[in-house]
Amino acid sequence: MVALVSGITPVDPAVSSCLLCSACRFLLIKPRQTECGHRYCAACLENLFKTDNEADCLVCQKKVLRSKVYFDKAAENDAYAIKIQCTAYREGCDWTGSLRNYLDHIMTCGKQKEDCPVCGRADLTKADLEQHCDPRHGTCPNVKVPCPFKEVGCEEQLQRHDLDYHLRTAQQTHLLQMLSLITSLRAGKSSEGDPAGSANEGAPTQMGPAATQPSGQGTGGGERAVSEGPRGADPGVVALAARTDGLEKCVGGLNRDLDKSAQLIELLQQKCLHCEQVLLGLQRKGKTADSAGGPVGSTVPVSTNGVLVWKIKDFSSCLMAAKTEQRPSFYSPAFSTHPFGYKLCCRIYPNGDGNGKGTHVSLFLTIVRGEYDEVLPWPFRQKVTFMLLDQASQRHVKESFSPDVLSGSFQKPRSHMNVASGCPTFAGHDLFLKPQHHYLKNDTIYIKVVIDMAGLSM
């Protein structure tokens, strides 16, 4: 059980701080209590003692005797009842429940990491492992296998996923090796086919009746030589000849398979080219929208009550694009304060901007040119509240600000949109990594923007 559930932290550490191991600081597993009153996991305590019968307590530094340690059943019962989150939550598992029920969950959780039994790769979920290899047959693509042409002289040892490439690129070498073997075997057959000629070479010519007898008469030695020739052939040569025939058939089959693989690769290359063209088209559209200075789809506001809830999917991809400077910022859909009011949108920098660069998510408000700007009061003065929504509780991150009426960001737009203004340090990146928070769930975050309508004429 220690191997299965070690490294578990409770959902609410404040409630169960007394149930954390004094060594590993994770939830107690098979808790043991020392004479000084501190608790340890059984495995952590054994590691503390190592081969000695006494050790220093990591909390109070008092001497702890192995004989004065006892199993804490009450702490184990309390730990079993603690609410925890599946350790695979970063992979998308949203299971929560008691530690007692966790073992049942991980037996069916498809997001748990498992090791490949063949190559030892350790970052695979159960579903990934099924695609990676079949442990029953050892079909892991990383396992090394000999070339099928080992029998004819190829000594290459390759990872299974490189075997097809080797067979394609080494066709000529393999065929030359086959030809060399076949030639040597045929030469061996020729030398074995006339044993009498080699034996009689240099022998004196016999005269007499036996020498003048016509073929088929006399002692019959010629007939025996003809009939005994095949029976007298070397069994090793016969076996090699049979193996050569089998290898020739194998080469023919492999060539046919390679032809099919080449056709399949050509088809896949055409599909990849088509996908690349589609992707380039979408990227061009995105660049066009960015160069225009406005968000995609901002013509019609998605809400007209001063509230925007912005769902951002694939946040990890957005963050990576921002870190690599491929796309530092993203615009939200447009919204307005009321049906005939200010037209607004948000701009987010996943990897931060200004003094939040590299450490925070930055969030800004942008005033977009609207149809009713001519009859609205300027500058824009309404209080703005940004919220990063917690998807499991009400512990939202909130930031509010009142517009600087002297800033050009809040004057009547003279172009498509004004310069964005807001919170460079809206939310620290560390918030998305803490297990007790649920701001990032299934690689999705929710941003809520609320405009204070007080004093605004409808």
Q: 353 in a domain, yes or no?
A: yes
CB 67 within 8 A of CB 43: no
Residue that terminates a domain, selected from 57, 74, 106: 106
Q: Which pLDDT value is given to residue 112? A: 67
Q: Which pLDDT value is given to residue 204? A: 44
Output the average pLDDT for the chain: 79
Q: Which pLDDT value is given to residue 166? A: 86
Residue that terminates a domain, selected from 78, 106, 134: 106
Q: Is the confidence at residue 40, as pLDDT, over 80?
A: yes
Q: Is the confidence at residue 206, as pLDDT, over 60?
A: no
CB 432 within 8 A of CB 443: no
Q: 153 in a domain, yes or no?
A: no
Task: Give 6's pLDDT tier (boundaries 50, 70, 90).
Answer: low
Q: 43 in a domain, yes or no?
A: yes
CB 335 within 8 A of CB 304: yes
Percent of the chain at pLDDT exceeding 90: 35
Rounded to two decimals, the pTM is 0.39
Task: Give 293's pLDDT tier (boundaries 50, 70, 90).
Answer: very low
Q: Which pLDDT value is given to residue 199? A: 45
Q: 117 in a domain, yes or no?
A: no
- For 402, the domain range is 307-451
Q: What is the pLDDT of residues 244-284, one digit of tens each?
A: 777 777 777 787 888 888 888 888 888 887 887 777 777 66
Q: Is the confidence at residue 412, as pLDDT, over 90?
A: yes
Q: Is the confidence at residue 220, as pLDDT, over 50?
A: no
Average pLDDT rounded to a whole number, residues 423-451: 91
Q: 372 in a domain, yes or no?
A: yes
Peptide bond between residue 117 and the one before it cis (omega within 30 degrees of 0): no
More confident position, 251 or 417 = 417
Token pair for 430: 């560390």
Residue that terminates a domain, selected from 54, 72, 106: 106
Q: Provide the 8-state DSSP code for 371.
A: T
Helix (H) or strand (E) segment spanning residue 346 = strand 343-349
Q: Is the confidence at residue 205, as pLDDT, over 50?
A: no
Q: 162 in a domain, yes or no?
A: no
Nearby residues of 166 by Cβ (< 8 Å), 6 or more positions away: 147, 156, 158
Q: Which pLDDT value is given to residue 133? A: 66
Beta-ladder partners of 366: 345
Q: Which pLDDT value is given to residue 285? A: 60
Q: Which pLDDT value is given to residue 33? A: 93
Average pLDDT rounded to a whole number, residues 412-419: 93
Number of domains forming the structure of the chain: 2
Q: 8 in a domain, yes or no?
A: yes
Q: Which pLDDT value is given to residue 226? A: 38
CATH assignment at residue 399: 2.60.210.10
Q: Provide the 8-state DSSP code for 323.
A: H
Q: What is the pLDDT of residues 182-202, one digit of tens each?
A: 877 777 766 665 554 444 444
CATH assignment at residue 33: 3.30.40.10
Average pLDDT rounded to a whole number, residues 16-32: 86
Please say whether the dihedral angle defined by the alpha carbons of residues 176, 179, 184 and 187, taken in this order, is positive or negative. negative
Q: Is the confidence at residue 160, as pLDDT, over 80?
A: no
Q: 252 in a domain, yes or no?
A: no
Of 54-58, 85-89, 94-98, 229-233, the least confident: 229-233
Percent of the chain at pLDDT exceeding 70: 76
